[in-house]
Chain A
Amino acid sequence: MKTESRLEKVLASGALAVTSECGPPRGAVPEKVKEKAELLRGSVDVINVTDNQTAMVRMSSWAAGILIRQLGLDPVLQMVTRDRNRLAMQADIIGAYSHGINTMLCLSGDHPHFGDHPMASNVYDLDSVQLIQAVVKMRDEGKFQGGKDIDHPPKMFVGAAANPFADPFELRVMRLAKKVKAGVDFIQTQCIYNLDKFETWMKGVCDRGLHEQVYILAGITPMKTAGMARYMKNRVPGMDVPDEVVKRMESVPKEQQPEEGIKIAVETIQRLKEVKGVAGFHIMAIEWEEKVPEIVEKAGLLPRPEV
């Protein structure tokens, strides 16, 4: 075991892991964080806390993570390289770890263009691959990125994202290989709606034996409405929503669409459980956290293992 991370323990036990996420509030409302996290208690192993997602200012990931830790739950510190340089990122990693946060996700982050501060400087001192390298170096060598020794190095279980649906597709397995080379421990993928394409990607991953070097958690986002399906298909970069999924959401009356969305999510999990190399699921129910327990239960992923 490299760390004390609950996620690492669950994955090492051979059980399918279940992770979810909680977007922090856009204001000083700690109760909101706690409410959202409580909805997930018992249904998931760890809870990702997003970092200024879609480039909108929110409560910081480490601060919301501490609130979740205080509830006795396990947060995953998400960190984008867009907002801070390597000094600030390493400082936050030490700080978060000092508060019992031992799992993190390294991301480049959405460009400020998408958010409500498009006038902000985008830092990108490091990219996501280089952040993985930095955190692994902190843990395994006890050294800062700059090379000096750390007094009590933080031992983070290190994750990253992968998007099998972005272009160029032929490069997507190689890009994962690069993150593996950088030392990443687990991957949470982009939301999967095009299962055939995901399975093609996973085959490429397994053919290179990468599934034996990194745990891959398949990304699941239940859709609330046909409108959301259309929006994700047409407007969200790097998202692949096939026509038949949109049609299926449109085929039921509006009031039954949320239920249909849940059904699709559950079916997706059930099919992907059988796919070689899938080590668990990352359920991102955007502003719909209350539905996560139902999805997890219907997908036969309960009870969560005690580790």
Chain B
Amino acid sequence: MITAVRKPMEEIIACVEPYDRILLVGCNECVSVCSAGGRKEVALLASALHMHFMKQGKTMDIREITLERQCDPEYVEELVTSVDGSDAILSMACGCGVQTIAARYREKPVFPAVNTTFMGASERQGVWSERCQGCGDCVLGITGGICPIARCSKRLMNGPCGGSTKGKCEIDANVDCAWQLIWDRLKALGLERRIEDIMEAKDWRTSRDGGPRKIIREDLAS
């Protein structure tokens, strides 16, 4: 999923302060699962903002809506009536959701209330870790199901580097060495020799380096 964390209150307040009527929009997908911008977080942020502005002697009209999926124009269309009655939109979705709103409601300023962080998986209750960088050319099949691009601090394709110590990365003893994990997994699979296969220089065009990416499915596109 796409993970996010809420921005600091001061930053959010600074964005919405000039306005009187705010439309606060959550998303029921990824940010809801990682407890950053779902219905519950929308309610919490709304009360925190109310309290802040009340102390300032200002009444802020905050309308709360949580869409099924904010990165989908079909659902974003549901905001049509509420947008009219507000001066600005505060979105708790990931950057994709914020941009879908901005593209649809051109005359209203839209502010992100969360920082979109990474594509990750849940390790345990309350802990999410980066797992994928969407490079567009998946190598998990040859690295034992562990991604060196997302999980090696130097995104080495032929690791481990000389800084791997007791299974941990040189940058932080709390970070696993991805290449230690890859090695352990290849061993478990009886594929030790595969570690000597050279992974050739990557073609980063399928990643962000080729410019903004797009998928067009002719069979589905209308």
Contacts and interface: CB of A to CB of B under 8 A. Distances in A.
A127 B154 CA distance: 8
Given A111-B170, A124-B155, A237 B165 contact: yes
Contacts of A171: 160, 183, 195
A166 B162 contact: yes
**Size category, B interface:** 20 to 34
Contacts of A238: 162-165, 170
A167 B166 contact: yes
B201 A86 contact: yes
A122 B164 contact: no
A162 B162 CA distance: 7
Nearest to B170: A237
B167 interface: yes
A167 B164 contact: yes
Interface string B143-160: 000000000011111111
Which of A162, A177, A238 has the most CB atoms of chain B within a 10 A radius of its CB? A238
Given A167-B166, A238-B165, A127 B156 contact: yes
B171 A166 contact: no
Given A174-B196, A237-B170, A238-B170, A166 B163 contact: yes
A146 B72 CA distance: 39
B198 interface: yes
A82 B180 contact: no
Interface residues of A, number: 35
Interface in B10-45: none
Contact of B162 (A125, A130, A181, A190): A190
A133 B177 CA distance: 24
A3 interface: no
A113 B167 CA distance: 18
A167 to B, nearest CB: 5
A133 B164 contact: no
B95 to A, nearest CB: 19
A130 B154 contact: no
A129 interface: yes
A167 B167 CA distance: 7
Given A166-B164, A237-B170, A124 B154 contact: yes
A130 B157 contact: yes
A193 B177 CA distance: 24
Contacts of A178: 158, 195-196, 198
B198 to A, nearest CB: 6
Interface of A: 82, 86, 108-111, 113-114, 122, 124-130, 133-134, 145, 161-163, 166-168, 171, 174-175, 177-178, 181-182, 190, 237-238
